[in-house]
Chains A and B, each alone.
Chain A
Amino acid sequence: MTGAMLRFAGVDFAHEGQPVLRGLDLAVPEGGITVISGPSGSGKSTLIALAAGLLTPDAGRVDRRCDSLGVVFQNPALLPWKTAQENVAFALSGRVLVRRDRRDRARAALAAVGLAPGDADKYPRQLSGGMCQRVALARALVVEPDLLLCDEPFSALDGDLRRALWQVLGEIHRRRGLTTLLVTHDPEEVSALARGGLAISCGRLDRDGRLRGG
């Protein structure tokens, strides 16, 4: 680990006058997994949105030292009129790639998250919730990110499926050493990752928007 890939320094953020995050200091070390847990409404999704640059802090700084970013949202956010492969390839729209290269990369990313080749041509409505989240994960990975942000990505899935997907995520981290920040309300998810032998830094967001640990 060679320093922080993502750093929050004294970040305050309020939504419609209500403080969501207060004085947040957090450093996400390069190559590690950082897990922030906290109850619903504690500002976990806001933290991810700030980290992704989708929101601007009211005070303090968010410094991101990465060229490419992957995000897995709570909702898979798939384009319903595109197949799984096209959804993954959509994240590459800004890259100068020939169509075939784009397709091959998308197929490889889908295979990496354990989706069968036959599923690549299916529309989201033809895929289960777990498969849709795998597509969203593949889309985050296809851009070859330096930093992966996960906003309770598997919280809507049932226990077995969730464990299987955590395993996939852990395996990808082990292979690529991908810097990962994930937020969850379920402490069991943290222990599921820890059981996989991964080095994890943990923190906890309280309801008042303050971070303990991390």
Chain B
Amino acid sequence: MRNRNGNAWLWGLVSIGLLLGLWEWGHRAWGPLVLPGIGDTAGALWRMIRDGTAGPALIGTAGHAAAGWACGVLAGLAAGTLAGLREAVRGAFEPVAIILLGVPAIAWVVLAILWFGGFWAVVFTVAVATGPLVFAAAIHGVQSVDGGLLRMARVYRVPFAARLLHMYVPHMLSHVFPALATTLAMSWKVAVMAELLSGAGGIGDGLATARAHVDTAAMMAWIVVVVAVLIAVDLVLLAPLQRRLWVWRDDARSSGP
């Protein structure tokens, strides 16, 4: 197992090395205006950190993404769980979720700027982009609970609260967790896009400024910041949480013996 993990890390490093090589080759082929070099990007990033631009922007985007994601997840989970348990609720909510999923995120940004503006425009866009995905996963999670378990709970007259807490929620987690991880990453990307268009601060605002100054090195530096945050969230938060939650599973995602 350890050897397999070691190999995975090695292949990961090889692919990142190849990507960086390709980046540098593109820089030499097309010049710094189209694609700044790795050194220029690192320099721009360092300047942004030193002059205090990166930190507040990062915090701003994190606040937008987290608030929007939390709203989307709470609404998606509540509606999805209800829809999974009650056919009538499902009939009412599912078409709405399909419509919401069909609206492009960029259209939501434009509408949200008109409706709310600033901070809430970003939060709303993130929530409305992530909520339907969590809703769909929650429905599937509730409806795929094993019939044998449901019959067993009925026989032993297990109260609804205990069934929800000990049967539905743990089962749903295995369906909802991938959606939570996907929408968490998505929330950052949507937040940056909404910030860029709405001028609500954050990394998106930084990108807009860099674009206005035709400073491609700064643009790449902001992109590096977003990607680094997503990788850090996955390594530090999501992967350990997944191992801990799925200790009972009999597969590679479990941390159990």
Contact = CB atoms under 8 A, between A and B. Distances in A.
B257 to A, nearest CB: 7
A71 interface: yes
Contacts of B30: none
Contacts of B151: 49, 52, 54, 73, 77
A194 interface: no
Contacts of B146: 77
Interface residues on A, range: 20 to 34
B155 A80 contact: no
Interface string B214-257: 00000000000000000000000000000000011110000011
Interface in A120-169: 123-126, 139, 143
Interface stretch (A11-19, A86-94, A198-206): A86-94
Nearest to A73: B148
Interface in B152-190: 152-159, 162, 166-167, 170-171
Interface string A57-74: 000000000000101010
A56 interface: no
Contacts of A52: 151, 155
A90 B249 CA distance: 19
B149 interface: yes
Residue in A82, A123, A126 with the greatest tally of chain B CB atoms within 10 Å: A123
Interface of A: 49, 52-54, 69, 71, 73, 75, 77, 79-82, 90-91, 93-94, 123-126, 139, 143
Contact of A93 (B148, B166, B249): B166
Interface of B: 146, 148-149, 151-159, 162, 166-167, 170-171, 247-250, 256-257
B162 A94 contact: yes
Given A77-B149, A79-B170, A125 B162 contact: no
What 8 A-B pairs come out closest when comparing CB atoms? A93-B162, A77-B148, A91-B156, A125-B250, A81-B170, A77-B152, A81-B248, A123-B248
> Do most interface residues of chain A lie in helix, strand or loop, or is the interface mixed?
loop
Contacts of A94: 156-159, 162
Contacts of A90: 153, 156, 158, 162, 166
A112 to B, nearest CB: 17
Given A125-B248, A125-B250, A79 B156 contact: no
A123 B250 CA distance: 10
Contacts of A81: 170-171, 248
B250 to A, nearest CB: 4
A75 B248 CA distance: 18
Contacts of A71: 152, 155
A66 to B, nearest CB: 12
Contacts of A143: 156
B159 A93 contact: yes
25 contacts: A54-B151, A54-B154, A71-B152, A73-B148, A77-B151, A79-B170, A81-B170, A81-B171, A82-B166, A82-B248, A90-B153, A90-B156, A90-B158, A90-B166, A91-B158, A93-B156, A93-B162, A94-B158, A94-B159, A94-B162, A123-B256, A125-B249, A125-B250, A126-B256, A139-B156
A45 B248 CA distance: 29
Contact of B152 (A73, A123, A125): A73
B251 to A, nearest CB: 9
